[in-house]
Structure formats: C-alpha cells, structure tokens
Amino acid sequence: MVKQSRRYSAVAEKVDTNKNYEPREAIELLKEVANAKFDETVEVHLRTTADPRHAEQMVRGVVVLPHGLGKTVRVLVFASGEAADTARQAGADFVGDDDLIQQIEGGWVEFDVGLAVPDMMPRIGRLGRVLGRRGLMPNPRTGTMVQPRDLARVIQEAKAGRLEYRTDRTAIIHSPFGKASFSADQLVQNLAALMDAINRAKPAAVKGPFYKSAYMTSTMGPGIPLEVSSLQSMRPAE
C-alpha cells in the first residue's frame, strides 16, 4: 500500500467519497484543495458503458475549449511547398516533411499537436507506431489531417485550446480541461464544452446511460466523485 503524504491526506479529508458532487460544486472544492507549489492541471475521468472491443463503440473527437488549457501548445505540421509556408505564417512551431519524419523516427516527439496535409499522409504512415500511442498521429477522424485552405484556422484553434479526447482500452476517457488557477466560471465553461462534445459523440450502439462513474481531480489532488446525470446535461453557454 502506498503511503500518502500529510498534504494529500489533509486535502483528501475534505472530499466526501460517499457523495456525488455537482460539477460546479466539485470545481469549487477542487480549487480549495489544489494547493501544490505549481499550477495543477484539472482533469475529468469518465468511465463509459462503451465496449472498446468494437470499433463502432470507440469514442474519439476534438473540441475547442473556450478558455484553453492554460499551457503553451507546440504545433507540428507535416507539409511542404505553399502549405508549409501557410503553416509557418499561421504560427506552427515545427513545419517540414522528410526532415521531421527522420527526427521522429529517431525518437524526437517534443510537440503537443500533430497536423498533416493530405498528400503527406502516405509518407508519415510509418510513424503510427511512435505517434499513435501518444495521440499525436494526424488522423482524418479527429480533424488533424487538414486541407491546406484550413491550416491557418486549425493551427490557431490548436494554440487556443483544441483538445482531443478518446476512450482508452478500458472504456475510460481521461481529459484535462484547465488549470487550478482558472476561475470557477472558466473551468465550468471549459467542462461544459468538453462534456457537450463527448455527449454528442456517444455511439449509436451504446444504449442506455453513457457513464458508469466520473471523477474530477487535479494533478496532486484526490478524486472527487461526480453526479453523472449532471454531466450528461451540461451545455456550453450561449
């Protein structure tokens, strides 16, 4: 059994593990207990009723959070020619083709979002083994394979807080949605945008309730149980 620190034990005592908290109530409690010496990331963990053994029940998508994630996002774009020029002008941090492919094959993965124009997809296919497990492989399903005309917009969205979510092999979605330093309103609005996107992505093959359980936590904080019915009804502010 792992021995918990005094700090963790002290903040964990403030969480009633027999209660399912409403989202705003959980956020306000989380901000109270997130007292590490750095700005902790705020996350939600959703145990879904999807069966990841079936491809049609995989949940995967992207959402742009209204207040971002509170961190600098490094964007890489696989492109050449005019598309590469567009990517650089739009603020991409890394732009290239064979040179970047070779770097990544050598073990370099110092970026947060990977994008590619369609004609690069056959050339980067061999990177799937390296980038796939990190969620960095460009993919048409998540909107990270981008037409040149859309590159500037997608790069700007990525910088602003474009977030990819997906179920893992145990049918759980783990997703950050801000920092503990954000205001409660900002975190509620980010969570509402995320939950609305995930709720809309519920596979047709999943019948009945979509979530078995849900927790909110910060990097160094305890899990706070959430009321799943409230998560299912969250909508972004008009």
Tens-digit pLDDT profile for the chain (238 aa)?
445 567 667 777 888 989 999 999 999 999 998 888 899 999 999 999 999 899 899 898 888 899 999 988 899 999 999 999 999 999 999 999 999 999 999 999 999 899 999 999 999 999 988 998 888 899 888 889 999 999 999 999 888 888 889 999 999 999 999 999 999 999 999 999 999 999 999 999 998 899 999 999 999 988 999 999 999 999 887 6
Task: Indicate the DSSP class of residue 67.
Answer: T
Structure token digits, residue 183: 């205001």
Number of independent structural domains in the chain:
2
Compute the distance between CA of residue 201 and CA of residue 199 in angstroms, rounded to an integer: 5
Which of 159, 186, 211 is the last residue in one of the domains?
159
Clarify whether residues 188 and 227 are in a common domain.
Answer: yes
CATH code at 224?
3.30.190.20
Determine the pLDDT at residue 1.
41
Compute the distance between CA of residue 237 and CA of residue 231 in angstroms, rounded to an integer: 14
Compute the distance between CA of residue 127 and CA of residue 86 in angstroms, rounded to an integer: 23
Backbone phi and psi for residue 89, each to the nearest 5 degrees, phi listed first: -65, -30
Beta bridge partners of residue 47, listed in sequence order: 172, 213
Answer yes or no: is 120 within a domain: yes
Answer yes or no: is 86 within a domain: yes
Answer yes or no: is 180 within a domain: yes
> What is the chain's alpha carbon radius of gyration, rounded to the nearest angstrom?
19
- Collapse the DSSP code of 177 into the 3-class scheme (helix H, G, I; strand E, B; otherwise coil) and give the result: strand
The helix (run of H) or strand (run of E) holding residue 31 is helix 23-33
pTM for the structure as a whole: 0.78
- Asked if 117 and 79 touch (Cβ cutoff 8 Å), the reply is yes
Compute the distance between CA of residue 182 and CA of residue 172 in angstroms, rounded to an integer: 25
- Residue 26's nearest CA partner among 231, 236, 237 is 231
Answer yes or no: is 228 within a domain: yes
Q: 185 lies in which domain range? A: 17-68+162-232
Task: Indicate the DSSP class of residue 34.
Answer: -
- Asked if 76 and 113 touch (Cβ cutoff 8 Å), the reply is yes
Which of 159, 192, 222 is the last residue in one of the domains?
159
